[in-house]
Structure 1
Amino acid sequence: MCEANAYLLTTDGEELILESVDRVVPHEDGLLLEDIFGRRKIINARIRELALVDHKIILERG
């Protein structure tokens, strides 16, 4: 599988935002994340790092 989990950087580390993310699309309010089940979440953040071997998308507040 090619999907990854999306995490938001916080002062305490990383907070899981959405699992099994299949799509990341730029959105006027930040990023639109969509998982393999079609669930969507819009978050005011930007991509900090893509760790594809680890299946992680690291985001930081935009």
Structure 2
Amino acid sequence: MCESTVYLIDKNGKESLFFELVDKIVPDQNTVYLEDILGQKKSIQARIKELALVDHRIVLEEIGE
């Protein structure tokens, strides 16, 4: 299985689970689009902070106003 779990660091620096079983990530300017293996989609204004592919872990950092 090659899916990853996505965690989000909010504006206060707190890390929390955001999305599981993600297999597609598309960054576009200030938005990150995600899709899981079931076809569910999410998007968030964030930047990719860390990709730990061996650990199946992706960390996003929330941006915006």
The unaligned stretches of length 5 or more in structure 1 are none
Which residue type is aligned with residue 17 of structure 1?
A: F
Comparing both structures, which one devotes a greater share of its residues to strand? 1
Name the CA distance, whole Å, in 1 between partners of 2:45 and 2:58: 14
Which residue type is aligned with residue 2 of structure 2?
A: C
State the percentage of identical aligned residues: 52
Matches within 5 A, 1:22-61: 22-27=23-28, 30-61=31-62
- SS for the counterpart of 1:37 is coil
1:3-42 Cα deviation digits (max 9, x unpaired): 1000001446421110000000124651111000000001
Which residue type is aligned with residue 61 of structure 1?
A: E
On the 8 A contact 1:23/1:34 being kept in 2, the answer is yes
The unaligned stretches of length 5 or more in structure 2 are none
Runs of 4+ in 1 over 6 A off after TM superposition: none
Query: Which residue of 2 is the match for residue 4 of structure 1?
Result: 4
Which residue type is aligned with residue 39 of structure 1?
A: Q
Deviation of the 1:61 alpha carbon: 1.1
What is the aligned length? 62
Name the CA distance, whole Å, in 1 between partners of 2:30 and 2:13: 24
What's the Cα RMSD here? 1.6
